[in-house]
Structure 1
Amino acid sequence: MSDEAYGALRASAALWAGTSVLITDPLGQVLVQHVDYRDTCLLPGGAVDEGESPAHTAARELMEELGVAARVDRCLAVDWVSPDSVSAPAAMRFPGEILHVFDGGTWDDARIGEIRLPPSEVTAIEFVEPAQLPDLLSPLDARRALSALRARINAGGTVLLENGLPITPTALDRLGVLRTARPTYRYPWHPGPAPHNLTVTQVWAWLFAPDGRVLVLLEPHTGLAILPGGTPEKQDQGDFVATLRREAQEEAATRIGSPLLLGHVTDPAARRGYLRYAAALADVGPAQPDPATGHTYTRILAAPEQAAELFDWGPATAEQLAAVHQARRQLGLPRAARQPVTELTGSSAR
């Protein structure tokens, strides 16, 4: 094949190239842009110019659209967008696209305060709960954004997508984690036991594996994440540790070591308290239906910081994580690095 023929062949298969940038605030909400040229929102980003690298494009677009200078050097996902997946006008002759989703990181109030919108195109920005993305973005854009967000939490490196969906789904993808709004418990954190004038309605625990990761349960129908634990019952006779042991067995088919009380969060309006413990996992059996719900939870191990991103606990999250790590040290366990979550599918003893 001649150079001319080979060049023509490759040109016939050419695709567009684009970028978007996933930015979150400290509450885990995602930055979306309202624009004046379409009726759905977008993540920051845009088309790759001739001779430009996708990473350079992403940084340029952040400056043009948000007025913020940022280094963009981590790619969360690369999406192959097929020609028939976009309702583009025929005259546009859309050939398909390769779109890179970059990690813009978590922006604090000071960084958010630096945002300056351009005179046209971007009319407003807002930070939204991940579960709101399908209501605000196009279906394809929402799938891609949620897949990229799960990839960031999973910490497994850049994922390959086809029309917004992972080629190799993780447990987070398979269950659609974050497609359902996270329960909001933005309550104050208090070390130690709950005072007597509070009614304790939930007892939850950070249960540690030997490598320092913690057990998280994923609800099979909604993808909601919960820590093992539950509601005190009459049979527990007011013993919250008994509640915890029973719930760990019923929900997660686990036995635990001696729990350490971390503290509690309070709902001031309802005068209710929610206890938090930490304990080492002693044994993990085969998954089984929870007698209270009939659901068989998917069990994953994740670093405590990864687990916290699956919840909406507000500013007190950092205080609770500090208590979690203090308990981890008391239990003689290592600090777990961010790494791909592990699904527990069978039984193990340590």
Structure 2
Amino acid sequence: MTTTPTSDETPSAFTDEQYGAQRAEAAVWAGASALTTDRHGRVLVERVSYRDTHLLPGGAVDKGESPAHAASRELYEELGVTMALARGLAVDWVSAAGANARPAIRFPGEVLHVFDGGTWGDEQIAAIRPREGEIEAVDFVEPARLTELMSPDNARRALSALRARINAAGPALLENGLPIAPTVLDRVGALRTARARHHLPFHGGPAPEQLPVVQVWGWLLASDGRALVLLEPDTGAALLPGGTPEPPDRSDPLVTLRREAREEAAADFSEPLFLGHLCDPNEPYARLRYAAPLTRLGPPPVDPATGRTHIRVLTTPEQALELFDWGLPAADQLAAVHQARARLGIPRAARQPLTELPDATDLTIL
């Protein structure tokens, strides 16, 4: 007669039959999906015939199949896209309670893998062939819309995976869509509200004299080439140090930038380089951009304009752009940032996890 092993028995005391039976009792489902963005940072989601909410491309892992192979297979079956998926973004433990599954399904829990589908250009997007009868539409949507379009558990998982991709610290371990070790992007809820949108052409030269300046922002660069980015504590929205000129600034954009950097981030910088300006053809305004070496940070201040204390992080310029919705012209601004960085003798930063700057007094960067 075969006996069922008790929980306090060690595997070495089991027969192969007993050990296999115990593990089979604890079996859970496995699934895999792919998170893909376009060049604007919008996320690919599918509208399917069998649900009233959107999904990432993906599905169940078949018997004997690896999660990475399953995600690639689902991309091909659902969208007609052939690609290998080698980078994981998140592994999510979905409990029976977290899935809110119908009782008849007898859901035992699931381990869901989210892989990085990369950034698709126009040709890859044009090659999408949705599976007839199942995929009704494919949309690229702003990250902030995921909570509106997806079920709560799927939206949590997709946003956590997207933050993990930006943070570049490796795959996030999730429980019911939430990271068990939240990063600063998770804690502030980055990307759950609309990103700052400025789809404006970037011009490398000075702004025309007749255009009033309505904004001055700075790429303040630490000695390792990363930029200072501010996160709103209540919305997770990201912004560069800087702001709107005020009368005491005497129409001097550098006075505006120094004042705003101190008010928002207690940041000082050395002699800046002018990068260029942005302007809207339909509005008679200019927005100026500078780059400068970051030299000092004081204790985080309360911004007099908002009454909030921003969370200060260092990111590569490329990671910073993923937190904004600046459109394709952002590539021209990024090129100008790197040209200025080289002129300032600052190295190019390798992609790495975001660093939250401590609440230290007189934190010296250089």
Letter in 1 for 2:303: D
1:322 paired with 2:326, answer no
Report the alpha carbon displacement of residue 298 of structure 1 after superposing the two structures with TM: 0.1
Q: CA deviation digits over 1:73-99, x for unaligned, max 9?
A: 000000000011122222211000000
Report the alpha carbon displacement of residue 6 of structure 1 after superposing the two structures with TM: 1.4
Letter in 2 for 1:91: A
- Unmatched 5+ stretches in structure 2: 1-13
1:241 paired with 2:254, answer yes
Report the alpha carbon displacement of residue 313 of structure 1 after superposing the two structures with TM: 0.6
Q: 2:76 aligns with which of 44, 47, 63?
A: 63
Q: CA deviation digits over 1:284-303, x for unaligned, max 9?
A: 11111011111100000000
3-state DSSP of counterpart to 1:283: strand
* Distance across 2 between alignment mates of 1:197 and 1:162: 55
* Distance across 1 between alignment mates of 2:42 and 2:285: 26
Letter in 1 for 2:197: T
Aligned to 1:182: 195
Aligned to 1:349: 364
Aligned 8 A contact 2:217 2:289 in 1: yes
* Distance across 2 between alignment mates of 1:232 and 1:272: 12
Q: How many residues align?
A: 350
CA RMSD of aligned residues (A): 0.8
1:133 paired with 2:136, answer no
Aligned to 2:222: 209
Aligned 8 A contact 2:196 2:239 in 1: no
Identity %: 63
Report the alpha carbon displacement of residue 314 of structure 1 after superposing the two structures with TM: 0.7
Report the alpha carbon displacement of residue 268 of structure 1 after superposing the two structures with TM: 2.0
Letter in 2 for 1:317: A
Q: CA deviation digits over 1:169-207, x for unaligned, max 9?
A: 011000000000112100011012211121110000000
* Distance across 1 between alignment mates of 2:202 and 2:241: 19
1:143 paired with 2:144, answer no
Report the alpha carbon displacement of residue 5 of structure 1 after superposing the two structures with TM: 1.8
Letter in 1 for 2:354: V
Question: What is the correspondence of 1:227-266 to structure 2 with a 5 Å cutoff?
Answer: 227-266=240-279
Aligned 8 A contact 2:99 2:176 in 1: no
Q: After superposing the two structures, state which structure 1 stretch, 116-125 or 105-114, moved more.
A: 116-125
Letter in 1 for 2:29: W
Letter in 2 for 1:106: T
3-state DSSP of counterpart to 1:11: helix
1:157 paired with 2:170, answer yes
Q: 2:47 aligns with which of 29, 34, 45?
A: 34
Q: Which has the larger radius of gyration?
A: 2
3-state DSSP of counterpart to 1:263: strand
- Unmatched 5+ stretches in structure 1: none
Q: 2:297 aligns with which of 284, 289, 295?
A: 284
Q: CA deviation digits over 1:120-156, x for unaligned, max 9?
A: 1111100000000001110000000000000000000
Structure 1 segments (4+ residues) deviating >3 Å = none
1:51 paired with 2:64, answer yes
Question: What is the correspondence of 1:114-129 to structure 2 with a 5 Å cutoff?
Answer: 114-129=127-142
* Distance across 1 between alignment mates of 2:100 and 2:107: 9
Report the alpha carbon displacement of residue 278 of structure 1 after superposing the two structures with TM: 0.3
Aligned to 2:31: 18
Q: After superposing the two structures, state which structure 1 stretch, 268-277 or 126-135, moved more.
A: 268-277
**TM-score calculated relative to the size of structure 1:** 0.99
**TM-score calculated relative to the size of structure 2:** 0.95
1:333 paired with 2:341, answer no
Aligned to 2:286: 273
Aligned to 1:198: 211
Q: After superposing the two structures, state which structure 1 stretch, 186-195 or 43-52, moved more.
A: 186-195
Aligned to 2:100: 87
Report the alpha carbon displacement of residue 72 of structure 1 after superposing the two structures with TM: 0.5
3-state DSSP of counterpart to 2:329: helix
* Distance across 2 between alignment mates of 1:85 and 1:167: 15
Aligned to 1:170: 183
